[in-house]
Amino acid sequence: MKEKTLKSISKLLVAVMIATIALPSGAFAGHGNYKQDKVMAAEVSIADSEQETTKENTETTKPAEETSTDESSTKETGTDETSTTEESSTTETTTQAPTTEVPTTEAPTINPDFVIENGVLTGYKKAATDTTNKEIVIPASVTKINANVFYQYKYIEKVTFEQGSLLQEIGENAFKECTALKTIELPEGLQIIGIEAYRGCSAVTEIKLPTTIKYIYKRAFYGIKKVKELTLPEGLQKINYHAFYKMTGLTSLTIPSTVTSTYEIIGKGANVTTVTFANGMTKVPNRVLLNANSVKKVILPETLTSIGYQAFSGCTQLSTIKMVQTIKKIGESAFKNCTSLKKLTLYKTVKTIGANAFAGATNLTLKVYSNSAGKKYARVNNIPWEYTDSEKERMAEDLRVYDMLVNSGIQSVKDKYILLSLKNYVPQGTCVIGKYIVVSMYHKNLTAKSILLIYDKRGNFVKKLKLTIKDHVGSVTNVKKNLVVGINNLPGAVDKVGIITYKKLLKAKNGKTIKFSYRVTLRGCADFAAFDGTHFWAGRSANSNSCLMYGYRVKRNKKTKRLTFTNQYNLYVPANTQGLVVNKISATERKFTLSQSYGRIADSYLMVYEPVNIVTASALDTPVKTVVLPSMLEGICVSGKKTYVVFESAAGKYCSNQDNTSEIQIDKVKVIKTWKLLALN
């Protein structure tokens, strides 16, 4: 019996395999689980084999028929067969992959009370008088809330925005007079808050603006009195008229650096006392705090360069504002009627001040600097002014330096070497040649001939000689008993020196014109110059860090008796060099002393350098000694143990304009023993 049962099972398995193979090729098409389909096919084959009714079994090949016959004959062993079939089916089922179900997402339910057209919320169907209408949720798909949509909905307490909100604009009056609304928290992406959008929302205690906001239009938050803090994000560009008017809970406000357009954003009757302009701002916008009569303190950033039109006009309680040194421009009426403002510092960096900038600021005294636009503005407009404390200290120090120079000078010539023609002429270079001290001078407008003033060594005036040129003459130097005058030393002009023999200088009469014996073209100009016995050193006095000084080998032509200048060495020297002394140490070493000055009130310097190798050096190093001298030092000359120094500070060109003047006017050639000069300071 057991053997018979095993034989029946074997025949049954063969039948299952044949039936599976005999299924049409499309039987598995479209199914996602191959193993499940295979089991189903096996079950169908068994049933068909048992009943022998299908066309498929009728057309089966002979081996299949035999299998089917044998299978049919084994039906007597139904218990074992059924058990085996169920076991086979169970085994196949346990290896099936789980069926994957596709999740379904429910579409968001949009409040049917909203009227939305192409992303724009244009209406709300519920009545404004509906007392149950306390909370609304704005769908994420809304890009704009139109004007007046929730105007006077007095029972709305909370407005939220769905996650992923696409809202960009809230229109005019959109939530105006929603008097029960408690907070305003707006979604990222919002850029525009329209005119009076939240005006009169008197219950609001908190406003949170997104970082994307760019425009807040007029009266947007008018009359929201319970908000005590308001953060305006960087990126905000425009705040319009009375945007924060009557927000009496605010006591301070910070204006982002990105704000460029404003107009009376607070106005009268507010409680904001401190306004800070964020770091990074370059201009205080026009009219930003116009009529903000509660503001007492303003804090400006170090990045600021200008203050706009009417920026603080009408800030009648403004008493504290610290100006910064980066400001270049103050706009028209900027501080008009700031009646509580008592002191305001205008730094030298301020170059432009608009009309009526301080009109009506009746208690104001401007603190200014010499030769500044602030001082001139105050004087012209009859505004009280005084020098800043630092400026007073500087001026006192300048006087000390001047007194020290005068007191150290050779007393016998203290009141000698008086410079003449200063009204129209400007002193430049000086030198000692023979029995004379010579000073070169050019006409202030370059419209008259340059001149030479000649003094004896006791400081007495000898004569004034006119040159044949109207150029900006520079240095005068004694080179092998010839007076070498720097001429044509203007930008773009040919650089030359004019040569006057000492013999010719002696013969010249006072007031007469003296002609150059000849001229020599140089590689560079001779604003400053000196002769060391073999080399003539000269260069341009330029406000630049790349000033070259040229060293020329000087020889006398045996045939013509004229001097020749051959450039051999070049050295970079400091900017604004005005005078030069050279001491020859050896064939290749020189010791240089330079005078340096720039501007009408800045200190001058006498700079002494270590000896340098003129063959290998390319520039002068750091000076080993620096002496501070009064402003506008020009030519210097050493003769024996004495040093002669000339200043241009007394020239009418520099001291006739009270708004741009030299403060300490030295109208004489100063003579001082060299060792005393170097010991000053």
Tokens representing 634 are 């020009």
Measure CA 460 to chain center: 57
pLDDT digits (tens, 9 = 90+) for 236-247: 999 999 999 999
User: What pLDDT, on the 0 to 100 scale, is given for residue 413?
Assistant: 87
The values of phi and psi at residue 352, to 5°, are -130, 130
pTM score:
0.75
Closest by Cα among 537, 532, 677, 678 to 620: 537
Q: How many CB atoms lie within 10 A of CB 596?
A: 22
pLDDT of residue 88: 36
On the CB side of 456, CA atoms within 13 Å amount to 3
* Res 79: pLDDT: 38
**Cβ(210)–Cβ(232) below 8 Å:** no
pLDDT digits (tens, 9 = 90+) for 23-43: 443 333 333 333 333 333 333
Contacts of 211 (CB under 8 A, 6+ apart): 188, 233, 234, 235
- Confidence band for 70, pLDDT divided at 50, 70 and 90: very low
Alpha-carbon span 115 to 120, nearest angstrom: 8
Cβ burial of 51 (10 Å; 0-12, 13-18, 19+) is exposed
pLDDT of residue 150: 97
Lowest mean pLDDT among 111-115, 454-458, 611-615: 111-115
The answer to whether the CB of 579 falls within 8 A of the CB of 538 is no
> Mind listing the pLDDT tens digit for each residue in 599-655?
999 999 999 999 999 999 999 999 999 999 999 999 999 999 999 999 999 999 999
Side-by-side strand order, sheet with 436-443: 425-433, 436-443, 451-456, 461-466
Amino acid letter for position 458: R
> What CATH number does domain 251-383 carry, 3.40.50.2020, 3.40.50.720, 3.40.50.1000, 3.80.10.10?
3.80.10.10
Strand segments, DSSP code E, in 125-223 are 135-138, 144-145, 158-161, 169-170, 183-185, 192-193, 206-208, 215-216
Give residue 494's pLDDT band: very low, low, confident or very high (50, 70, 90). confident
C-alpha torsion angle, residues 391, 396, 397, 403 (rounded to 10): 150
pLDDT mean over 193-216: 98
How far is the C-alpha of 172 from the C-alpha of 2, rounded, in Å? 95
For 273-311, the pLDDT digits (tens) are 999 999 999 999 999 999 999 999 999 999 999 999 999
* Amino acid, res. 455: Y
CA distance 212 to 236: 8
Determine the pLDDT at residue 492.
66
Contact between 390 and 655 under an 8 Å Cβ cutoff? The reply is no
CATH superfamily membership of 111-241: Ribonuclease Inhibitor (3.80.10.10)
CATH number listed for the domain at residues 402-678: 2.115.10
89-98: pLDDT as tens digits: 333 333 344 4
Per the prediction, the chain carries an average pLDDT of: 86
> Phi-psi category of 189—alpha, beta or left, where left has phi over 0 and alpha has psi -120 to 50?
left
